[in-house]
A and B are shown apart, each in its own frame.
Chain A
Amino acid sequence: MPGSKSSWAVKIVAVLVKDLRAEYRTRYAVNAIFLFALTTLAAVSFSLGAGGIPGHYLAVLFWIILFFSALSGLAQSFVKEAETGTAVSLKLNAADDAVFFGKWLFNLILLLGLECFLVPLFLVLLNADVARWPLFLGVVLLGSLGMVSATTLIAAVIATAGVRGALFSVLALPILLPLLVPLVRVTEYCFLADSVAGSDELTVLAAYAVVATVVGWLLFPFVWRD
């Protein structure tokens, strides 16, 4: 039933489940994103060697690794549809809103899954101590929401454009830049026990996620339909 709320949720979940099942069978995005994150983290900790680094640099490295890992994997969901030729049947069988939010949720799950693996490894390899766990988890979650909101639409643009690879980072990174400074600041507070936490930053991060999601949702049909 188009229009009623329950069927909306059902359609979104249907797209999500389809993507998760396809991902389970091919492990296309998971391989790309996890291996990229692992190699980047290894390269960073190799180059730094032993010895602690100050909280500010720790926060910078943390988000740079996460940003570029996300950029390596989050485009896959749409690019795969274009490459395997399944985009047409998806257009026929699912509403635009369901596709957008299904992919949005898929990307969020992918990114949160990556973080479950990357965050402990980062903390262990770089000898980082988190002084404020609730704030840290909150800022990681808000950062992920912001990244996913902005990149889902850009991924659709890339897949439609028929150009892959570097262009995704070129298009997505400037859009993600407003996230980077507040994220690094708050994460820095989490590593250093003595500084004050910024609730202003958290508001900005939440506002960014809302704005990017709404804009993505409104503009998605123009990308998806010719």
Chain B
Amino acid sequence: MWWKYLIGLLMTGMIIAVFTLPPPQTVIGDASRIFFFHVPAALLGFLSFAAAAIFGVIYLKNRQPSADRRAAVAAEIGLTATVIATISGAIFAKVTWGAYWNWDPRQTTILGVLLIYAAYFALRQAVADRQARARLSAVYILVGGAIAPFLFFVLPRLYSSLHPKDSLVSGQGQFVLTLPVALTFAASLIAFTLLGLWLFQLADRAERIKEELEIKGDYTRLPRTIPYWP
């Protein structure tokens, strides 16, 4: 439980630090601060997809419904985080390059990643049989996981991109952040990852309860157990 309070502290401290500690960047000004939200969101997206692929392997090994459920939940969080990274990137692109979307290799490939995981959910919806759905979607998330590195790593390096590469390490291989800024960045990476873990836990529990109710045939009672608003 304690680490959930830590998320609150880290997030609050990080947001205050982001807007006070680093000086505005010389060329693009305050827009550079988006870095502290964009990069952790992208990292969370990447980690969630890796987790989804690992749960896919676990499912194919032991055929436990829990592994399939966790793969789906991880992919869901990954998709959300990647959408956040894409949108924050587009805002940054508007400020620095003048347009939200200009088919930079990074933007093209992140769209491909989003499409792969959208297709994963399309497959899950299309297959009615529980076991077949689990098996086929585990296979698909692994194919996606094998192909996604081409999108994440290979293509953006093949074509010249405007995406900043020297925010952390300069072209000479030197670490460019001062210590307080580096600590802020580390705090935001940790805060986003922990937030992802918490979301994962919550969504996993909600899905498990839904499955148990479905199995009991008590699904119709579900609306009454959830308090209506207001």
Contact = CB atoms under 8 A, between A and B. Distances in A.
Interface in A155-171: 157, 160-163, 167, 170-171
Contacts of A181: 105, 108, 155, 159
Contact of A175 (B108, B131, B147, B159): B147
Interface of A is mostly: helix
A174 B158 contact: no
Interface stretch (A80-88, A108-116, A137-145, A208-216): A208-216
Interface residues of A, number: 31
B150 A219 contact: no
Interface of B is mostly: helix
B143 A204 contact: no
Interface residues of B, number: 31
B138 interface: yes
A151 to B, nearest CB: 11
Contacts of A154: 140, 143
Nearest to A181: B155
B162 interface: no
Contact of A157 (B60, B136, B146): B136
Given A212-B146, A212-B147, A177 B112 contact: yes
A182 interface: yes
A207 B146 CA distance: 12
A175 B144 CA distance: 7
Interface in B129-157: 131-132, 135-136, 138-140, 142-144, 146-147, 150-151, 154-155
Interface in B78-131: 105, 108-109, 112, 115-116, 118-119, 122-123, 126-127, 131
Contacts, number: 92
A116 B122 CA distance: 34
A47 to B, nearest CB: 23
Interface string B49-91: 0000000000010000000000000000000000000000000
A200 B116 contact: no
A215 B108 CA distance: 24
A215 B144 CA distance: 10
Nearest to A208: B150
B119 A170 contact: yes
